[in-house]
């Protein structure tokens, strides 16, 4: 009986959003909460799940297999596919959160991008920031959680680890593959990679 009532509620919610002009692709696969709020000109692709307290602005595209809960998505934002937006997160106007990205209790600033395979937790990201693939904010040391701040126009190279608490100042660059543990000053490049070594004529031992 509970399952039947749940399905009836979902049908009612889907029809409500369809009537309001929301574009639902594969509506039978999309699940809403009673308090979901959606703006104008929004497209939602198949297999998207909305937890409680989700507010979606205008001109938003939410791609397949994304999960959103207790978060605010502003205008002209793209989410997914396979993105998870956890409680306490805000995606500002024009931002993008791409495939296999998890955002937890963080703000992604206007026109900033976290496109691939990244974890952003307990963070504040400014405007026009690019976060490269595989970037992790190391927010938990086993005892407490700490914050990461990335200011406007910063560029975070792929496969970087930002060990919180930490601040990346504006217009700065973190080189790919770096583990950053100290504040990065405005307009500077931070690198922690070891120099590449090449041994000529090397032959791998075979058993």
Assess whether 67 carries a catalytic annotation. Answer: no
Helix (H) / strand (E) containing 5? helix 2-19
Locate 134 and state its tokens: 């595989």
Question: Tell me, what DSSP letter sits at residue 27?
Answer: G
In 17-135, which ranges are E strands? 23-24, 37-38, 43-44, 49-50, 54-56, 61-62, 67-68, 71-73, 78-79, 84-85, 89-91, 96-99, 102-104, 107-108, 113-116, 119-121, 123-125, 130-131
Token representation of residue 88 = 């306490």
Element containing residue 19 per DSSP (H, E) = helix 2-19
Name the 3-class secondary structure at 155: strand
Catalytic residue among 116, 124, 147, 185: 116
Q: In a 10 Å sphere around its CB, with 0-12 CB exposed, 13-18 middle and 19+ buried, how is residue 144 labelled?
A: exposed
- What is the bridge-based pairing of β-strands 71-73 and 161-163? unpaired
- Kindly list the catalytic residues: 116
């Amino acid at each position: 009986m509970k399952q039947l009532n749940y399905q009836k509620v979902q049908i009612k919610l889907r029809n409500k959003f369809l009537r309001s002009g929301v574009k639902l692709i594969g509506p039978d696969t999309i699940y809403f909460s009673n308090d979901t709020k959606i703006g104008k000109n929004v497209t939602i692709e198949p297999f998207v799940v909305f937890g409680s307290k989700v507010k979606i602005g205008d001109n938003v595209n939410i791609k397949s297999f994304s999960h959103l809960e207790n978060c605010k998505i502003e205008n002209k934002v793209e989410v997914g596919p396979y993105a998870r937006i956890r409680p306490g997160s805000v995606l500002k106007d024009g931002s993008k959160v791409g495939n296999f990205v998890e955002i937890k209790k963080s703000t992604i600033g206007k026109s900033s991008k976290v496109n691939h395979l990244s974890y952003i937790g307990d963070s504040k990201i400014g405007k026009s920031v690019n976060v490269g693939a595989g970037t992790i904010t190391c927010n938990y040391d086993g005892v407490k959680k700490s914050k990461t701040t990335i200011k406007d126009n910063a560029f975070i190279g792929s496969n970087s680890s930002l060990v919180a608490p930490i601040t990346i100042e504006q217009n700065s660059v973190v080189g790919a593959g770096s583990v950053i543990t100290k504040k990065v000053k405005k307009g500077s490049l931070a690198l922690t990679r070891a120099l590449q070594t090449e041994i000529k004529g090397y032959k791998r031992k075979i058993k």
